[in-house]
Amino acid sequence: MEQQFQHEVAMLAKHPNIIRFIGACRKANESCIVTEYTRGGSVCQFLQNQVVPLKLAVKLVLDVEHVHGLNLIHRDLESDNLLIAADKSIKIADFGVARIQVDKTLEAAGRQKS
């Protein structure tokens, strides 16, 4: 299970539209995750002024499909967690509540379906 988790994280780290993880640290009761900087802000901010082009929306769907193909469920995919890079590509961020889908027959409570 641990090897599978590490493999999934490594696969995510290599995708160009997943925010690049740089490092993390923990001190007392505080944690800090450091990722690449995306100067374009979030899609949420972008949508306040413009409409997302269809080409960009389709690309985002393909990126989410890639994440799901790794059996990872983001669980908090919203416009605030979609960041715009300098080249105008969208990067998926904030995997803090993501979960690896180990067995599709398990319910959310962790019991097998009858």
Which residues are designated catalytic?
76
Q: What angle do CA 35, 108, 105 make, to 5 degrees?
A: 105
Check residue 27 and give left, alpha or beta (phi > 0: left; psi -120 to 50: alpha): beta
